[in-house]
Structure 1
Amino acid sequence: MRRRTLILGAGATLAAGPLRAQGFAGLGETSETFAQPSPDTRLVFPGDHAPHPAFRIEWWYVTANLAAADGTPYGVQWTLFRSALAPDGPTDGWGNPQAWMGHAAVTSETRHLAAERLARGGIGQAGVTVDPFRAAIDDWALEGPSLTDVTMRAAGTDFSYDLRLAAQGPFVLQGDEGYSVKSASGQASHYYSQPFYRAEGTLRLPDGDVEVTGQAWLDREWSSQPLDEGQNGWDWFSLHLDGGEKLMGFRLRGTGPDFTAATWIAADGTPTPYPDGAFGAEPLETARVAGRDVPVVWRVTLPDHGLDVTVRALNPECWMPLAFPYWEGPFMVEGSHSGGGYLEMTGYE
């Protein structure tokens, strides 16, 4: 789903106000005062790269599967979340109702390093502009002449990275022309991706600098209630297959039956969306991570394309020990297809 109940919690923290949690951070709660996604809406670029402040939540989310010159694999995450504390308000000053949160991480086979930033809108600390494109929180930034050609940087106490991302294919609309359904009862978001970035740059790690190249995937999503009240966690997969195809798939878990959806993306960028039940994600092995059992090996299937693969975490210890913790990290793909990708999991207590 791409995904993120995290940001609503960040908004509540920054507002120092109470939040009645549902699921991971309340995104199954009805929100009648905010705008709601519509299947009649058609996304327009570059305009929809900008924030949508009438909606409650939004994110600019990048994951990258990288390798050093000797083949050593790495993963990188860069995320900017926006949460509206109210559906309108002043654009400048502390009365601005937008709260922002940034997450960054670097993963290797033996280390997972993560950092977090929190900010309030209206004071110049965080925000997004389109022409030229810039999404930033403090000195972390995703910026360039347009969202098809950007540099991406972030830093924690023990790592930093500086990467260039250049799109080699089109933006891809998820779901029905960008309208992505998340439950049997009809909760939804507006959702598109750029899964065709070619990435190159430098990771600065405790053992020294590493020059890397690879592939990156951007997800853009906004909504006001993307979960049903009975849903409390998800498993989200993005696959870069060696044949040039891509796959996005998710499983939403809760008190009722799991809800799944997927998009098969051809090498030329043509998307084929799949409804609930077509995509399969079955946990095969778990690891004890941060005091909880987390699936780190999966069987992922999409029979319409003959896909039946094992997804294995590069590093099982990819716990994000931040204000709103979750698991996110790179994986390797083997079976009917080969490649790599990224997995995010929430709701494992």
Structure 2
Amino acid sequence: MNVSICSILALGLLVGSAAGGHTQGFAGLGSTAQGFAVPKPGMHFHFPADHAPHPDFRIEWWYVTANLKGTDGLDYGAQWTLFRSAAAPGEKAGWSSPQVWMGNAAVTTPDRQFSAERTARGGIGQAGVTITPFDAWIDEWALKATSVAVGSDELSKLTMSATGTDFGYQLNLEAKGPVVPQGDNGYSVKSAEGQASYYYSQPFYSISGTLRLAGKSVEVTGKAWLDREWSSQPLAVDQKGWDWFSLHFDDGSKMMGFRLRDTSGGGFTSGTWISPDGKPTDIASNELKVTPLKNALAAGRDVPVEWRLELPEKNLDFTVSALNNDSWVRSQFPYWEGPIRISGNRSGVGYLEMTGY
């Protein structure tokens, strides 16, 4: 999943203003398609074409999270995100474009959270995504391909850069495994009512580069995960937020899992198990059990910072805990997102995003 509801709400507000109308429903996502295209089962991804925008759908994102280790011995996290939201299907040139873009960037340390955001109108060159070579940008922030070998995917080698007040990064990503479809061959169901998205990931990046924090630089290496997702009605009307996990296990396997919380106090869970060679296995709806164990205050909000995840089908029973309990992205539309550590009958690292708290 990996998209901030609050950030998408911001896009919904901007798009509504740009269109001279109302916002697009809950979090700018909505539970009805309102003339936009709708994901359907049986679609097959086509690369590199599907790395580009899909303007007939209401919302999509290009989203990278990274677990990093510094030469100073400390653990870090980094995030780079570009969101696209639309007031109407399709694209038009110039200021007539119905597209609005938002970028989020963050760096997490054991005791601080740095973050920044950018917004842009479509059609005027301030933000966008192109392929061959792949380039996603908003202002000077960029996620772009470098030295793509013949026959390789456009996302196989990337540079990632962003700056904010007192922080910035320049990072290099290289994929060590294949692009992976999430859900049922890329069709990811988000509710019992059948709302869904198209969703794939590149979870096999090795990453290296430099973080700049409060005027000091540190060299880092680690693992990164890129998510691509688009839809027009991915949420049910009673869903109020989600908890999303991307996990790198020490044995080379990966897992994506999420819980969408509803107003009755229940939730809808799903995910994908990914073998070390990149073979995905869909986790059936509500087979994954996600239980909060410990809460902490983040920006005055009570949020879970330690979780137990259970997946009996894979004999998984482990705990994840936050590197920094106060990983609150203090933007105009805030949410919690930061690196986590895995312990129990599996070990490793990952990322957690929580919205709606």
State whether TM-score is above 0.5. yes
Please tell me whether residue 177 in structure 1 is matched to residue 179 in structure 2. no
Consecutive unaligned residues in structure 2, runs of 5 or more: 147-153
- Alignment partner, residue 150 of structure 1: 158
Aligned equivalents of 1:239, 1:37: Cα separation in 2: 26
Deviates more, 1:318-327 or 1:233-242: 318-327
Aligned equivalents of 1:37, 1:4: Cα separation in 2: 20
Consecutive unaligned residues in structure 1, runs of 5 or more: none
Give deviations 1:194-240, integer Å, cap 9, x for gaps: 00000000001115100000000000000001000010100000000
- Alignment partner, residue 286 of structure 1: 295
Aligned equivalents of 1:318, 1:19: Cα separation in 2: 32
Tell me the SS of whatever aligns to 1:170: coil
Query: In the alignment, which of 324, 332, 335 is matched to residue 341 of structure 2?
Result: 332
Tell me the SS of whatever aligns to 1:10: helix
Aligned equivalents of 2:309, 2:98: Cα separation in 1: 40
What is the Cα deviation at residue 56 of structure 1?
A: 0.1
What is the Cα deviation at residue 347 of structure 1?
A: 0.6
C-alpha change, 1:297 and 1:4, in structure 2 (3 Å) is same
- Alignment partner, residue 68 of structure 2: 66
- Alignment partner, residue 320 of structure 1: 329
Tell me the SS of whatever aligns to 1:155: strand
What is the Cα deviation at residue 310 of structure 1?
A: 1.0
Aligned Cα root-mean-square deviation (Å): 1.4
What is the Cα deviation at residue 88 of structure 1?
A: 2.6
Counterparts of residues 58-207 of structure 1 (less than 5 Å): 58-90=60-92, 92-145=93-146, 146-206=154-214
Partner AA of 2:208 in structure 1: E
Structure 2 contact 64–224 (Cα < 8 Å) conserved: yes
Partner AA of 2:136 in structure 1: A
What is the Cα deviation at residue 30 of structure 1?
A: 1.3
Give deviations 1:4-41, integer Å, cap 9, x for gaps: 43335324225525645755x14233123100001021
The number of residues matched between the two structures is 346
Structure 2 contact 212–218 (Cα < 8 Å) conserved: yes
- Alignment partner, residue 150 of structure 2: none
Aligned equivalents of 2:244, 2:288: Cα separation in 1: 11
Structure 1 contact 74–107 (Cα < 8 Å) conserved: yes
Aligned equivalents of 1:232, 1:20: Cα separation in 2: 17
What is the Cα deviation at residue 70 of structure 1?
A: 4.2
Deviates more, 1:118-127 or 1:270-279: 270-279
What is the Cα deviation at residue 71 of structure 1?
A: 2.9
Structure 2 contact 30–232 (Cα < 8 Å) conserved: no
What is the Cα deviation at residue 147 of structure 1?
A: 1.2
Aligned equivalents of 1:142, 1:85: Cα separation in 2: 25
Counterparts of residues 241-320 of structure 1 (less than 5 Å): 241-256=249-264, 257-320=266-329
Query: In the alignment, which of 48, 51, 55 is matched to residue 50 of structure 2?
Result: 48
Aligned equivalents of 1:229, 1:83: Cα separation in 2: 19
Aligned equivalents of 1:254, 1:22: Cα separation in 2: 16
Structure 1 contact 8–83 (Cα < 8 Å) conserved: no
What is the Cα deviation at residue 101 of structure 1?
A: 0.1
Deviates more, 1:102-111 or 1:314-323: 314-323
C-alpha change, 1:285 and 1:50, in structure 2 (3 Å) is same
Structure 1 contact 11–100 (Cα < 8 Å) conserved: no
Aligned equivalents of 1:202, 1:26: Cα separation in 2: 34
The two structures have a TM-score, normalised by structure 1, of 0.96
Tell me the SS of whatever aligns to 1:240: strand
Give deviations 1:21-76, integer Å, cap 9, x for gaps: 755x1423312310000102111111100000000000000000000124310000
Aligned equivalents of 2:230, 2:277: Cα separation in 1: 26
Give deviations 1:108-154, integer Å, cap 9, x for gaps: 10110000000011101000001000000000000014211010000
What is the Cα deviation at residue 277 of structure 1?
A: 1.7
Please tell me whether residue 223 in structure 1 is matched to residue 234 in structure 2. no
Structure 2 contact 13–28 (Cα < 8 Å) conserved: no
Aligned equivalents of 1:111, 1:56: Cα separation in 2: 34
| Identical amino acids, percent of aligned pairs | 60
Partner AA of 2:116 in structure 1: A
Deviates more, 1:124-133 or 1:145-154: 145-154
What is the Cα deviation at residue 294 of structure 1?
A: 0.4
Tell me the SS of whatever aligns to 1:94: helix
